[in-house]
Chains A and B, each alone.
Chain A
Amino acid sequence: MARLFLWEIEKLRHLRSVRLGLLAAVVLPLIWSVAPGLKAVYGLQLVSGWQVPALALLAGMEFLYPFLVAMAASEVLGSEVSMGTLKALLLRPMPRTRIVLTKLLAASLIPFLFLGASLGAGIVAGLPHGFGGFFGGTGLGEGGFAGMGYLGAGEALAEIFRAYGLAALTLLPIAVLALLYAVVFLSTTASALATLATVLLMRLLVVFPAITPLLLTRYLDLYLRPEAAGPGLLLLVIYTLGFAVLAVLLFEHKDV
């Protein structure tokens, strides 16, 4: 299983969606760090390097990161279908469950990969602004970018890491849902579209207050509400495991 998983990681490097996603994740914070209209449009003046990765996360989580994760996770299986290699894999003496599980694990890495790249690029892009303590906020903690007074470098770092970690975890069920749809449709495009449609539809379901607390999309901003992490993460784990179990069961008897 470990060897198969390492092979999946190697395959990730060659997926176009993963390469494009990484590029976008790196470019986004760089754009924010040099954006001349930041103050004019958003009324925001960058006073610390810590605000750059925060700004990238806030902007990216709105649509870009869920979209990139859905595309890349769909391609984990979809590329094997389009290249014809899935059939070759399934003809080997190896359980289908093992094959789809390693793909689920690989897809689960994608949110961490993209957000890790974005965080790294954000830190590099924030260098000109300095990473010391400052008066204001990272944008991810109490008081937003205005903050609650002086914020030490350690506290800012903790806020950034916590927010990126939570954001990656909230994208995890989207990645697994994309792989589930890839199993259903055996197509990258159809799977990515179905995943995004599901997420967008769920966002609209807030008009039904009774089910709102159970909606996956209710927790996509968990990185801004760490106090809700307990029940939020539990629900995200349930969604992730539910999608994963469905993907395994469907793949076991899927015509290829």
Chain B
Amino acid sequence: MSALEAIELGKRYGRRWVLQQVSFSVQPGEVYALAGPNGSGKTTVIRLVTGLAFPSAGEVRLMGQKVHEGGWALRRHLGAVVEAPAAFYPQLSGRENLERLAWMAGLRRAASRIREVLAQLELMAVADQRVATYSLGQRQRLGLAAAILARPDVLVLDEPTSGLDPVGIGKVHQILAEEASRGAAVLISTHHLREVSAYVHKVGILGGGRLVDEVIVAAEKARHRIRVDDPPRATALLRTLPSLQNVRLRGEWVIVEGAVEGAVDALVAGGFKVFEVTRDYFDLYEYYRERVAHG
């Protein structure tokens, strides 16, 4: 069963459809990134899947139940930040804000869990200061703390790294990866595809209110690049090997998919000088640019 599933989701304002036939699913332990240019419908998707807005077509299932008909109790499974920066009561301290959210979530032993998430997000030093005094980055981190507070099965975050410094960005990505490895299904909307490409499993690319492509990143990672003394000839040679797929030239690199050891053996046997062999991580950003440009 998918932890989160959007089925033929559509949203219309008046006569204008801002989202049409968007379907995707996020499994437990999986990180799904929604990408797309401004106005492509990312935030609308986030609002629909969290139940804040109601779809004009289709449905959303959270842990197998319909979000918009399943009742409020279903939200026990959900942790979400849908605004950047995350919104809190400015007159209360960070800890007091979390205490109220924990009470609303019916969280047991809230005090120790609140300490835990504050420490995890490195907010202990400002925990008892009014949120009004927090920096943008501190508010964003407090937002993530609020989202993971009740150990949700599904985590939904809209631009979770917006306004953060590089250290903060790294921290957020680390926590999201940890949440996924704990078994949570994570859905994020982001513009920062290079940052998330290290741990996302799928990327949905939105354009003009439709899901124009879905990339399974994990499957894309079994790829290597080889630097040799004569790349064009090396490429021609490697294309003859049945154990390799999608052999192509990219600048001075030969990109191969499949058994890289066999490729190196063949190159050495063919008299080529092999200078370097390295994993070729899928460049989400480049793919996204190409997809949006030609989508």
Task: Given the known inter-chain contacts A91-B50, A91-B52, A91-B82, please indicate yes or no for A83 contacting B89, CB distance below 8 A.
Answer: yes
Q: Which chain B positions have C-beta within 8 A of A14?
A: 91
Interface residues of A, count at CB 8 A: 20
The residues of A that contact B82 with a CB separation of less than 8 Å are 87, 91
| A84, B104: Cα distance in complex, Å | 17
Binds A, one of B20-28, B70-78, B200-208: B70-78
Q: Which of A1-55 contact B (CB under 8 A)?
A: 3, 7, 11, 14
CB pair B78 A87 closer than 8 Å: no
Within the complex, which residue of B51, B54, B78, B87 is in contact with A88, where a contact is CB–CB below 8 Å? B87
B72, B83, B90, B91: the one within 8 Å of A93 (CB): B72
From 65 to 100 in chain A, residues with beta carbon under 8 angstroms from any chain B beta carbon are: 83-85, 87-96
Contact of B76 among A93, A96, A256 (CB under 8 A): A93
Give bound CA distance, A96 to B71, whole Å.
10
Instruction: Tell whether, in the assembled complex, residue B54 and residue A93 are in contact, meaning their CB atoms are under 8 Å apart.
Output: no
Residue among B51, B78, B100, B105 with the most chain A CB within 10 A? B100
Q: Is A256 within 8 A of B88, CB to CB? A: no
- B51, B76, B90: the one within 8 Å of A90 (CB): B51
Contacts of A255 in B (CB 8 A): 47, 52-54
**Across the interface, do B87 and A92 meet the contact criterion of CB distance under 8 Å?**
no
A255-B52, A256-B52 as given contacts; A87 in contact with B87, CB under 8 Å: yes
For B72, the chain A residues whose CB sits under 8 A away are 93-96
For the complex, is B146 an interface residue (Cβ under 8 Å from A)? yes
A84 to B72, CA, bound (A): 20
CB < 8 Å neighbour of B88 from A88, A94, A96: A88
User: Across the interface, which residues of A come within 8 angstroms of B87, CB to CB?
Assistant: 83-85, 87-88
* 25 residue pairs A–B, Cβ–Cβ below 8 Å: A3-B103, A83-B87, A83-B89, A84-B86, A87-B87, A88-B87, A88-B88, A88-B101, A90-B51, A91-B50, A91-B52, A91-B78, A92-B75, A93-B73, A93-B76, A93-B105, A94-B72, A94-B104, A95-B72, A255-B47, A255-B53, A255-B54, A256-B47, A256-B52, A256-B53
Interface residue ranges, B against A (CB under 8 Å): 47, 50-54, 71-76, 78, 80, 82-83, 86-91, 100-101, 103-106, 146
Which residues of A line the B interface, CB within 8 A? 3, 7, 11, 14, 83-85, 87-96, 253, 255-256
